[in-house]
DNA sequence: TCTTGACCTAGAGTAAGCTCTAACTTGTAA
DNA sequence: TTACAAGTTAGAGCTTACTCTAGGTCAAGA
């Protein structure tokens, strides 16, 4: 698919996608004869995964570390698994602390409700 | 308490605390005769609350909006309650999507485990 | 032919949130 | 009385992650 479609399907701007390629997050993107990028379903899967990591608070630099291992092929599987497991642990503890923040927020809201002067 | 102790108890650097004061997040911080700030337990509570909002993804600008209402006193209670309720809703949906990301991550990790060559 | 739209590159600019620097004062301990 | 630690200000600089600009190519339709 072309840039326009890929941009629409990932909800990332063309600028951002080019930027991701520049910093090494996207590798081996095909080009058509006129030099325009064309993206595959595999690229879409990969970007979807990147966005998942991003949305769970992983900085681009860490995602890049994973991407570099991925580019090296199967031999880095163990290492990648470890990275994901570490991220999983972080995410899990963050969810737990967010649940606590939610409870604290509820308490605060409850306080506002109880102290209404009206 | 002095800057050093407050900094330790909030886990924020003196630089950051002065910055928070500068942008209006911290108001009416007392000064001792030599011009040094001294913080109260109330200040600590407020910063703790700020950090809670921050850790759940609220940008400083929104926290600032809340802080400004707070500075106006009781008459803004309703408005503040609404802000907190909106944040609560956002936080809740973010927790839910993070739980989904966690499940997707588990799947990916499972894939690495199943495809081990060793 | 001419315009429109999609794309390209290199590199500059932006926003948020700090983080640091320079130059200075003040209080305490040796 | 001198050194050290802790504080102050204004303002510059940094990092992350984009976002935009300038100046260009190329293919298709009116």
Summarised one tens digit per residue, pLDDT across range B53-78 is 999 999 999 999 999 999 999 999 99
Domain that holds residue A7: 3-114
Q: Is the CB of B13 under 7 A from strand D?
A: no
DSSP annotation of B58 reads -
The residue that minimises its CA distance to C1' of D25 is A34
42-71 of B, contacting A, C-beta below 8 A: 49, 52, 55-56
* A99 touches B: beta carbon within 8 Å: yes
How many CB atoms within 10 Å of residue A74? Answer: 10
B67 touches strand D (CB under 7 A): no
- Give the integer Cα–Cα distance in Å for B83 and B94: 17
Q: For residue B81, which residues of chain A lie inside 8 Å, CB to CB?
A: 109, 112-113
Quick one: pLDDT at residue B68?
95
Residues A25, A66: Cα–Cα separation, whole Å: 9
CATH number at residue B27: 1.10.1660.10
Judged by C1' against the alpha carbon of B32, the nearest nucleotide is D7
Does the pLDDT at position B118 exceed 60?
no
Partner residue opposite A105 with nearest CB, options B91, B99, B112: B91
Task: Say yes or no to pLDDT of B115 above 90.
Answer: no
Listed residue (B37, B41, B1) closest to B18, CA to CA: B37
pLDDT tens by residue, B70-101:
999 999 999 999 999 999 999 999 999 999 99
Nearest partner of A105 among B48, B88, B61, judged by Cα: B88
Per-residue pLDDT 10s for chain A (118 aa) are 999 999 999 999 999 999 999 999 999 999 999 999 999 999 999 999 999 999 999 999 999 999 999 999 999 999 999 999 999 999 999 999 999 999 999 999 999 999 876 5
At A111 the pLDDT is 94
- Chain B contact for A116 (CB, 8 A cutoff): yes
pLDDT of the residue at A117: 66
pLDDT value of residue B116 = 78
- Predicted confidence (pLDDT) at residue B117 exceeds the cutoff of 70: no
Total domains in the fold of chain A = 1
């Amino acid at each position: 698919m072309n840039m326009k479609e890929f941009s629409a399907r990932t909800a990332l701007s063309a600028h951002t996608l080019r930027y991701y390629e520049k910093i090494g997050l996207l590798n081996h993107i095909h080009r058509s004869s006129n030099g325009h990028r064309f993206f595959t379903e595999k690229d879409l899967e990969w970007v979807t995964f990147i966005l998942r990591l991003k949305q769970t608070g992983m900085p681009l630099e860490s995602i890049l570390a994973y991407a570099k291992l991925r580019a090296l092929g199967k031999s880095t599987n163990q290492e990648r698994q470890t990275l994901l497991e570490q991220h999983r642990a972080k995410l899990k503890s963050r969810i737990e602390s967010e649940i606590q923040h939610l409870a604290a927020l509820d308490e605060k809201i409850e306080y506002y409700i109880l102290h209404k002067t009206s």
